[in-house]
C-alpha cells in the first residue's frame, strides 16, 4: 500500500512540475527525434487547460504484455506528455499461453482489461523516455494443468490421480502503479514509433484451484497455496511496441 501511495504521489508531482515548466512552441527536431509542444502552456488559465485536454497531441496503437490497445497523448511541453489509454484482450496467446510454478506447468487463458493514466518524460529532450502512472486492472486469468501423466510434484510432495487441476488467479490491487523506460523516435512531423519495458505492481493474488478427480484434491490445495505465495506473480512485466500519429 505504501508503494502504491508513493507511486501515485510521484506521478502527480511529475505532472505538476512539468506543467509549471511548460513553454509554447511547435516544431519537429529530426536530430532529437521529438515534436515540440503543440498546445502551449498547460497551466495559466482555465481556458488553456480546457483547450489542451480537448486538443490531443497524438494517438498511438500498441501491442505487448498488457494486451492490444491504444492511447491518446496530451502535450504539456516538448519533454512531457500526459497519456490516457487502454490495453487488453487474450494476452496469453501473445506469449505462449503457459507458465510454471513449483514444477507444475499451467496452460493459461486470459482476458485482460487495463485502462491506464500516465506521464511520459523525455528527460534529455531526445528519443529516450521514462514513464510512470497507474493501471486500473481487471484481468481474468484461468489456468489448467494435467501434470506429468497425472502426477504433480508440489512443494516436495508427490500427488498422483486421474484428472487435472483447474483454477483462476485474481490480483487484489484495484490500482497498479507502473514505471517504464523506452524510446520514442519520431520519423516525421506526424509519425513515430516507440518501445517500452518496465513493470506494474499488482499485489498479492487470490487463487482458486480445484481438482477434477477426487485423488487430486491434495494437489489442488497445495497448488492453491503455492500460487498465492509466489512473489513474482505480484508483478506484471510491461513490454510494448507501437506506432504514433501526431496531429
- Domains of the chain, first to last: 2-246 (2.40.160.170)
Residue with cell 477426487: 214
Instruction: Round to whole Å and give the CA distance between 64 and 162.
Output: 37
Instruction: Round to whole Å and give the CA distance between 132 and 143.
Output: 30
Look at 7 and 229; give whichever has higher pLDDT. Answer: 229
Task: Tell me the pLDDT tens digit for each residue of 204-214.
Answer: 999 999 999 88
Q: Distance of CA 12 to CAs 7, 24, 82, Å?
A: 9, 22, 11
Q: What is the mean pLDDT of the chain?
A: 81
Residue 18 has pLDDT above 90, yes or no: no
Task: Tell me the pLDDT tens digit for each residue of 101-124.
Answer: 878 889 999 999 999 999 999 999
Q: What percentage of the chain carries pLDDT values higher than 70?
A: 77
Q: Left, alpha or beta for 150 (phi > 0: left; psi -120 to 50: alpha)?
A: left
Indicate the SS3 state at residue 122.
coil
The pTM of the full predicted model, rounded to 2 decimals, is 0.76
Task: Tell me the pLDDT tens digit for each residue of 156-189.
Answer: 889 998 889 999 999 999 999 999 999 999 888 8
Amino acid at each position: 500500500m505504501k508503494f502504491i501511495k508513493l507511486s501515485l504521489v510521484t506521478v502527480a508531482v511529475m505532472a505538476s512540475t512539468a506543467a509549471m515548466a511548460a513553454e509554447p512552441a511547435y516544431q519537429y527536431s529530426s536530430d532529437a527525434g521529438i515534436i515540440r509542444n503543440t498546445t502551449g502552456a498547460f497551466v495559466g488559465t482555465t481556458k488553456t487547460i480546457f483547450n489542451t485536454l480537448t486538443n490531443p497531441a497524438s494517438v498511438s496503437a500498441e501491442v505487448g504484455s498488457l494486451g492490444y490497445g491504444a492511447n491518446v497523448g496530451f502535450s504539456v511541453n516538448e519533454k512531457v506528455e500526459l497519456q490516457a489509454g487502454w490495453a487488453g484482450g487474450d494476452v496469453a496467446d501473445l506469449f505462449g499461453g503457459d507458465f510454471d510454478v513449483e514444477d507444475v506447468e499451467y496452460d493459461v487463458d486470459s482476458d485482460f482489461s487495463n485502462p491506464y493514466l500516465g506521464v511520459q518524460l523525455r528527460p534529455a529532450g531526445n528519443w529516450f523516455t521514462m514513464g510512470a502512472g497507474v493501471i486500473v486492472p481487471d484481468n481474468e486469468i484461468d489456468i489448467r494443468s494435467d501434470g506429468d501423466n497425472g502426477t504433480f510434484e508440489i512443494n516436495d510432495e508427490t500427488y498422483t490421480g486421474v484428472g487435472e487441476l483447474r483454477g483462476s488467479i485474481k490480483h487484489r490491487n484495484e490500482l497498479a502503479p507502473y514505471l517504464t523506460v523506452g524510446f520514442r523516435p519520431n520519423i516525421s512531423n506526424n509519425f513515430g514509433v516507440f518501445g517500452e519495458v518496465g513493470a506494474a505492481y499488482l499485489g498479492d493474488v487470490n487463487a482458486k484451484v480445484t481438482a477434477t478427480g477426487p485423488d487430486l484434491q491434495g494437489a489442488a490445495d497445495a497448488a492453491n497455496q503455492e500460487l498465492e505465495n509466489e512473489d513474482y506473480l505480484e508483478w506484471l512485466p510491461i513490454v510494448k511496441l507501437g506506432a504514433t500519429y501526431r496531429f
